[in-house]
Structure 1
Amino acid sequence: MAIVLSLSLLVLLLNFDLREIAVAAEGYSRHDFPADFVFGSGTSAYQVEGAANEDGRMPSIFDTFTRSENWQGGNGDVASDEYHKYKEDVQLMVDTGLDAYRFSISWPRLIPNGSGSVNRKGLEYYNNLINELVNHGIQPHVTLLHSDLPQVLEDKYGGFLDRQIVEDFTAYADVCFKEFGDRVSHWTTVNEGNIFIMGGYDLGQTPPQRCSAPFGFNCQGGNSTTEPYIVAHNMLLAHASIVSLYKKKYQATQHGLVGFNLYSFNPVPLTNSTEDVMAARRANDFFIGWFMDPLMYGDYPEIMKNTAGKRIPSFTKDESKLLKGSFDFIAINHYFSVHVKDNPSSLKMELRDYVSDMAAAMIFSTDGAPPGGLPFMPWGLQEVLEYFKQVYGNPPIYIQENGQRTDRNSSINDTSRVEYLQGFIGGLLDAIRNGSNARGYFTWSFLDVFELLDGNASSFGLYFVDLNYPNLPRYPKLSQHWYSKFLKGKSIPLDGIVEAANSSSSGLYSR
């Protein structure tokens, strides 16, 4: 059985289960990776901190999104309460054996009005968190913007729709570099720039829910035909401005690195036909090349410019020069692969959005998948890394998100997540052995967090967070035991992990 999906439904795929159906290969250990390779796990501010209305923090577009009339998934007012429990959580990171923790800074907590005065309490919190990490030997990897642009800037001038965002985003980054850069050496400007735009300005399914009929759903204003291209343009210029600032003002003394994060779904041609092969290439050009070509070469892919025409802005010579090479590393988030089929009929539409400009459709087979789930393909990450190696000259890459969705209240015996991690980390090792310049790997997520697409309904965490109790206790899942053993250089079979977990958990694993 197969399900045919329009590419416009791609974002929705992230909401499905990714349970593995094949037993992942074993036989490797952490010692097989380069000595300086970084292993970690991650979260983001709105999804984990809570304390949304405390100590001067103001709303973000993520807050507004979770309070919209069509959203039924709760909100992140409390989330996992890391704002108050950060010391406890850092100790869990130590227990797990993480090299690094990837988190984001809440712009509306640090600079509540989007620009201007710094919030002393926000500054204190992030200094405390960073110090706690560093004091325990854990590298802080910081993302500046993870879906939570200050709502005040959205209200004031439309956020990323206006060039003013370049100035304000750069000023915010300047504060972060100045205050935290003596301890933070890895900075990512934007998380999943391509998904942020497609979901937020074309389909209207994620913050700030802008779109237009017939392309989006429950639109809060917007224009799906033009806004995705405008937002991407301003986002790229803001990123380049931030990198330029860092290189001129901070890099010589702080010795840090700045990168950009993209989501990659690894499009695979449905058939060997020329049409489907070209459709898969086109999907990569639109989804990855949209940002990578400007960052590498200073301009958009020709196919995008030819297809979108006047709807896609142009870079000036100075802007192109500023963009070219404006990264020290590229960060990618990858969860699963999808098949792609040529869809030329979308180009015949009188009105087109960014998605229909791709002229590609997603085909996903559910053969062999567990009920309600999607099979995963560990080789997909290898193919993504090979694509960056072949097409973009093998830049330094950090895999900043990779993980498996399960229902929030599913068993803490998450054997499928263990198999998922085994498979993907094994695939990563194969890619490195084949010459990939991958430098680090982070599971998503360290704790069960408030998820972008379904709030508290789903789980990606290594630790279960029990929302039924006010103190939100954390319990290690089977996947945490496996990852911890792996990080500590051990390699034992899955049944050994289960036995060890059961013997040490006092019944927790019967949950």
Structure 2
Amino acid sequence: MYKWVISLAFYSIFILVFQVVYLASAADHYTRADFPADFIFGSATSAYQYEGAAFEDGRTPTIWDTYVHSANNNGATGDVTCDGYHKYKGDVKLMSETGLEALRFSISWSRLIPNGRGPVNPKGLQYYNNFIDELIKHGIQPHVTLYHVDLPQALEDEYGGWLSRKIVKDFRAYADVCFREFGDRVLYWTSINEANAAAIAGYEYGFIAPGHFPSSKVSSRNQTYVVGHNFLLAHSAIAKLYKNKYKATQKGYVGINIYAWGSVPHTNTREDIIATQRANDFFIGWLIDPLFFGDYPETVKMNAQTRIPAFTEYESKQVKGSVDFIGVNHYLTVSIMDRPITSDIITRGFDADKALWIIFDQGQPAPGEYPVMPSGLYGVLEYLKQTYGNPPIYIHENGQMTRRNGTLMDTSRVKYMHAYIGSMLDAMRNGSNTKGYFVWTFLDCLEILDGYESAFGLYYVDLDDKELKRYQKLSGKWYSNFLKGGNVISEPSKNAPFHLRSGFSQ
């Protein structure tokens, strides 16, 4: 209760004051030298979105394969995507030329261990060894995510995947292989990508794999909470494994990743301010509180009641303190409006329990683009600092969405990156323990929500070209200039011939 009161008071003051003064004070002129020498800048991707080669060299289907091949997904799959499985050497060379200091990528569980458990696939093992070696050869630090929404379909079919506690043993065994085989070169391990969003979107709303819609089913309206609980148990199991078996020799770090949008009250009423704190409890505290305090937030337990699993004393002790860092994916800011809890217990699930409306009313500068609201990232970093004792934070994903139309003059992405990196710098100057920033993403690739309709890349990938040729965008040039120590501006020149169809050449 004490933490909740402090958080609410903080939010009330923060929202009223910060939004007024932020834009005037945000860092606008900065260079790489304004960040600590050990701060890491890079880019991020994931196996299914980048690798392709979905049916080659022993890789077996995942729940993501099954989802995109069975759902109405406009034919967008990860069967080929950027073909990184075959083209990684050229891509790493581009990363080096751009000046990336690190790459965050994921390992495909079913490429490494095709049945989810049991024998390791030699060709999968060779690919990841080669990829990691190529990164290190070019001075790029590998940051590895173990699970990025691509559970082996074999485990989903056998026992329901993340809905069963059997997953904890299999995930631990998979992580053991990764630590053993790659840990001599990999220091930074993230257990699960967007653990909160993966549970909500996959098991409450059904718009990502595995596509469950339990909120309409009386018998399974707690699936989201069960999956979140098993995420925490699996994470803490591999953190314990690493600490006991590998930490002394490999000296690496194990963290978890969450999706965190900026949340602001829709109005300055007490109800909306309280609802905003409740939103943070449900979207952040739900899976981060147990890692620091050993249990779920009181608001979440009170609203979810018996629908959320309870930690045993042993589980609580294992989960608490099991992170070395928190990974944050942040793209946009929403406003929060209070919604009274209904008495309809039959349809109540995670959506109803949180008792609030999420309003995407911030306006858009252009169709299909995120509004530039860097105060949201500052607010997330400040909230994590205030609530959890300022743990190490890595911004694992942040980037601007545009339509995929072949344009290389992506000025909106430049403005977005300039603003959000500046916001992060402001938060660090105010004491945030942020350690790294990874832009999403290096190459235009398969996107989780709309396939190839949108793009986030610093490089355009021509899907109509049989070689899938890569073309650097203005944002890639801007980021490269920044990483190499140049002064950066938010209003780039529009004189360069940066449109693919007008004769631009690499």
1:483 to 479, 486, 506: 479
> Higher relative CO (CA 8 A, sep ≥ 6), structure 1 or 2?
1
For 2:123, the aligned partner's letter is: K
- 1:147 aligns to what SS in structure 2? coil
Cα–Cα, structure 1 residues 205 and 35, in superposed 2: closer, same or farther, change >3 Å?
A: same
2:341 and 2:355 in contact (8 A); partners too:
yes
1:162 to 161, 164, 189: 164
1:38 and 1:100 in contact (8 A); partners too:
yes
Tell me which residue corresponds to 1:79.
Answer: 81
1:73 and 1:456 in contact (8 A); partners too:
no
Cα–Cα, structure 1 residues 503 and 211, in superposed 2: closer, same or farther, change >3 Å?
A: closer
Cα–Cα, structure 1 residues 478 and 25, in superposed 2: closer, same or farther, change >3 Å?
A: farther
Matches within 5 A, 1:165-180: 165-180=167-182
1:188 and 1:260 in contact (8 A); partners too:
yes
What displacement does 1:496 show?
Answer: 5.4
What displacement does 1:427 show?
Answer: 0.3
For 1:316, the aligned partner's letter is: T
1:436 to 413, 432, 438: 432
Tell me which residue corresponds to 2:123.
Answer: 121
Instruction: Note the alpha carbon deviations across 1:328-371, whole angstroms, 9 max, x for none.
Output: 00000000000000011446565301011101102232556334
For 1:327, the aligned partner's letter is: V
Cα–Cα, structure 1 residues 351 and 39, in superposed 2: closer, same or farther, change >3 Å?
A: same
Matched, 1:182 2:194: no
1:201 and 1:224 in contact (8 A); partners too:
no
Matched, 1:339 2:335: yes
- 2:323 aligns to what SS in structure 1? coil
Instruction: Note the alpha carbon deviations across 1:432-460, whole angstroms, 9 max, x for none.
Output: 00000000000000100111111111100
Cα–Cα, structure 1 residues 271 and 51, in superposed 2: closer, same or farther, change >3 Å?
A: same
Q: Distance in 1 between matches of 2:170 and 2:456?
A: 33
2:262 to 257, 263, 266: 266
1:412 and 1:510 in contact (8 A); partners too:
no
**Worse overlay, 432-441 or 222-231:** 222-231
- 1:247 aligns to what SS in structure 2? helix
Tell me which residue corresponds to 2:229.
Answer: 233
- 1:67 aligns to what SS in structure 2? helix
Q: Distance in 2 between matches of 1:68 and 1:447?
A: 26
Cα–Cα, structure 1 residues 26 and 506, in superposed 2: closer, same or farther, change >3 Å?
A: farther
Matched, 1:322 2:325: no
Q: Distance in 1 between matches of 2:500 and 2:447?
A: 27
Q: Distance in 2 between matches of 1:494 and 1:388?
A: 28
2:393 and 2:436 in contact (8 A); partners too:
yes
Instruction: Note the alpha carbon deviations across 1:294-320, whole angstroms, 9 max, x for none.
Output: 101111111111111111111111110
What displacement does 1:71 show?
Answer: 2.5
Q: Distance in 2 between matches of 1:193 and 1:371?
A: 29
1:276 and 1:340 in contact (8 A); partners too:
yes
1:201 and 1:223 in contact (8 A); partners too:
no
What displacement does 1:502 show?
Answer: 3.8
For 1:131, the aligned partner's letter is: D
- 2:143 aligns to what SS in structure 1? strand
Tell me which residue corresponds to 1:3.
Answer: none
Q: Distance in 1 between matches of 2:107 and 2:391?
A: 25
Matches within 5 A, 1:35-434: 35-212=37-214, 214=216, 225-346=221-342, 350-365=346-361, 367=363, 369-434=365-430
What displacement does 1:72 show?
Answer: 2.1
Identity %: 57
1:413 and 1:510 in contact (8 A); partners too:
no
- 1:338 aligns to what SS in structure 2? strand
For structure 1, list consecutive stretches of 5 or more residues without a partner in the other structure.
1-21, 216-221
1:142 and 1:187 in contact (8 A); partners too:
yes
Cα–Cα, structure 1 residues 371 and 77, in superposed 2: closer, same or farther, change >3 Å?
A: closer
- 1:308 aligns to what SS in structure 2? helix
- 2:360 aligns to what SS in structure 1? strand
Instruction: Note the alpha carbon deviations across 1:417-444, whole angstroms, 9 max, x for none.
Output: 0000000000000000000000000000
Q: Distance in 2 between matches of 1:109 and 1:450?
A: 18
2:411 and 2:491 in contact (8 A); partners too:
no
What displacement does 1:67 show?
Answer: 0.7
Q: Distance in 2 between matches of 1:503 and 1:509?
A: 6
1:445 to 441, 444, 447: 441
- 1:101 aligns to what SS in structure 2? strand
2:44 and 2:105 in contact (8 A); partners too:
yes
2:341 and 2:353 in contact (8 A); partners too:
no
- 1:206 aligns to what SS in structure 2? coil
Tell me which residue corresponds to 1:463.
Answer: 459
1:202 and 1:224 in contact (8 A); partners too:
no
TM-score, reference length from structure 2: 0.92
**Worse overlay, 470-479 or 67-76:** 67-76
Q: Distance in 2 between matches of 1:408 and 1:278?
A: 39
Tell me which residue corresponds to 1:17.
Answer: none
What displacement does 1:212 show?
Answer: 3.2
2:27 and 2:422 in contact (8 A); partners too:
yes
Instruction: Note the alpha carbon deviations across 1:237-260, whole angstroms, 9 max, x for none.
Output: 000000000000001100100000
1:203 and 1:224 in contact (8 A); partners too:
no
Cα–Cα, structure 1 residues 385 and 73, in superposed 2: closer, same or farther, change >3 Å?
A: farther
2:146 and 2:191 in contact (8 A); partners too:
yes
Cα–Cα, structure 1 residues 252 and 365, in superposed 2: closer, same or farther, change >3 Å?
A: same
Q: Distance in 1 between matches of 2:455 and 2:499?
A: 23
- 1:331 aligns to what SS in structure 2? strand
Cα–Cα, structure 1 residues 364 and 174, in superposed 2: closer, same or farther, change >3 Å?
A: same
1:161 and 1:230 in contact (8 A); partners too:
yes
Instruction: Note the alpha carbon deviations across 1:61-113, whole angstroms, 9 max, x for none.
Output: 00001111433242110010000000000000001100000100000000000
1:347 and 1:356 in contact (8 A); partners too:
no
Tell me which residue corresponds to 1:4.
Answer: none
Cα–Cα, structure 1 residues 178 and 368, in superposed 2: closer, same or farther, change >3 Å?
A: closer
